[in-house]
Structure 1
């Protein structure tokens, strides 16, 4: 356990936690909600660093967190409970373009660095990775007819499919942060170009920023990174 923004923060892996805390310093810097009780949806919440950052800035915010990794989810729920945070709903599921169950790939253990875990085998099935069956939820059914102030999608290679599933509800969303995960082998199913076209068509201004931090991926993925040539691009999207 450590402290983050005055909150108690439980985590599964020290390096992953430190990386997420560094990223929080500038996220979401491009967006200010219109009211203190804004609705945030955090897809790929991990242990809840972004959730805690939002609660520090906007204590009355309502936040829905999705996290399929059972070990990260346990830490996420604990961080909500030990800090006695109102208005936060945690869902142990992966957002997907379909309901049901699916295979989840990656580093799955109580003390694992789970950055990079994904439903997308092309992104997360690597030497030494394990699998687990997890629940999947369609984001459209959670959004319903509600207005969403901010949507975060950091779901390791499934961004294009999920945005396609909520096409009809994109007009209800005011700002989106998408971290697009690409490799040459997965461009046909998930690409910055296709996602930018989706978001432009829905009326968003999109600013693409290459994510090249030295801590963007765990050290144990260095060999895979050299072979697969992955890229991570941040799309900052607003109206």
Structure 2
């Protein structure tokens, strides 16, 4: 069931794809980061890679990767009921095969969780959605339905074979998820994770995650992500001091450091 009426759906034609979206701000970012900067390009040693898109939003990363590897098996997780509807439309409109969609959040347990998402989808486009209130509530509280609950699942249930590419963009829940899959992380060949930290001293959480990946024998390529935050979350930005890093990591059991190169 959808929580409330989503903003009118718009369509963009990009790289031979038809993409449904509701926020110009979000779509501009998807176009720049995914399709122009090739942020999620990766080298696969197999013709049919297994890809996990956690925090899929409207599915632009999945659309990009299915063009790169048409035979890929992809599973997408998107908890926002409104944005999930866009994801469904984009998968259907572009006739993606071998693509499974899950309308749930990911965490370190199975059950349900409160979920924080702005009603103003025409502005946010689902960016900033989170099961963590410190990340999910970025505007006036009146813009949120704090009673919304979504299903939550452990990602380890879906890692029963080698994962060629794991993308995590989960607004503050990344360490919970990575820690939960620690016993099967050896099956993950490459991952791309956005690390979200708050406060004036964000290095502690960031370093904890880097140490975790190093312990699991991953080489890491790190970039400070200069997110262009919209003016309507400026007050939250000033008070919370968010820091975002983009980590590209490869499993040293599968790759050598010179294969960290992006497109």
- Indicate the TM-score class for this superposition, using the shorter chain for normalisation: over 0.9
The residue aligned with 1:50 is: 61
DSSP-derived class of the 1:95 partner: strand
The residue aligned with 2:7 is: none
The residue aligned with 1:221 is: 233
Q: Which has the larger radius of gyration?
A: 2
DSSP-derived class of the 1:111 partner: helix
Residue 161 (structure 2) pairs with residue 150 (structure 1): no
Residue 153 (structure 2) pairs with residue 137 (structure 1): yes
DSSP-derived class of the 2:122 partner: coil
Listed as ranges, the gaps of 5+ residues in structure 2 are 1-10, 252-263
Change (3 A) 1:176 1:194: same
RMSD: 1.8
The equivalent position to 2:196 in structure 1, one of 171, 181, 188, is 181
How many angstroms does 1:191 deviate by?
1.9
Inter-partner Cα distance in structure 2 for 1:121 and 1:186: 19
Inter-partner Cα distance in structure 1 for 2:95 and 2:135: 35
Q: How does 1:3-42 map to 2 (within 5 A)?
A: 3-24=13-34, 25=36, 26-29=38-41, 31-42=42-53
How many angstroms does 1:66 deviate by?
0.3
The residue aligned with 2:131 is: 119
How many angstroms does 1:197 deviate by?
1.0
The residue aligned with 1:234 is: 246
Q: Deviations over 1:136-193 (max 9, x none)?
A: 01000111x21100000000001011100000011000001010010028969x8211
Question: How many aligned residue pairs are there?
Answer: 234
Residue 71 (structure 2) pairs with residue 81 (structure 1): no
Residue 205 (structure 2) pairs with residue 191 (structure 1): yes
Q: If the length of structure 2 is used for normalisation, what is the TM-score?
A: 0.84
Inter-partner Cα distance in structure 1 for 2:216 and 2:119: 36
Q: If the length of structure 1 is used for normalisation, what is the TM-score?
A: 0.92
How many angstroms does 1:106 deviate by?
2.7
How many angstroms does 1:237 deviate by?
0.2
Change (3 A) 1:35 1:207: same
How many angstroms does 1:223 deviate by?
1.6
The residue aligned with 1:62 is: 73
Q: Deviations over 1:117-152 (max 9, x none)?
A: 100112122323413211101000111x21100000
Listed as ranges, the gaps of 5+ residues in structure 1 are none
Change (3 A) 1:135 1:186: farther
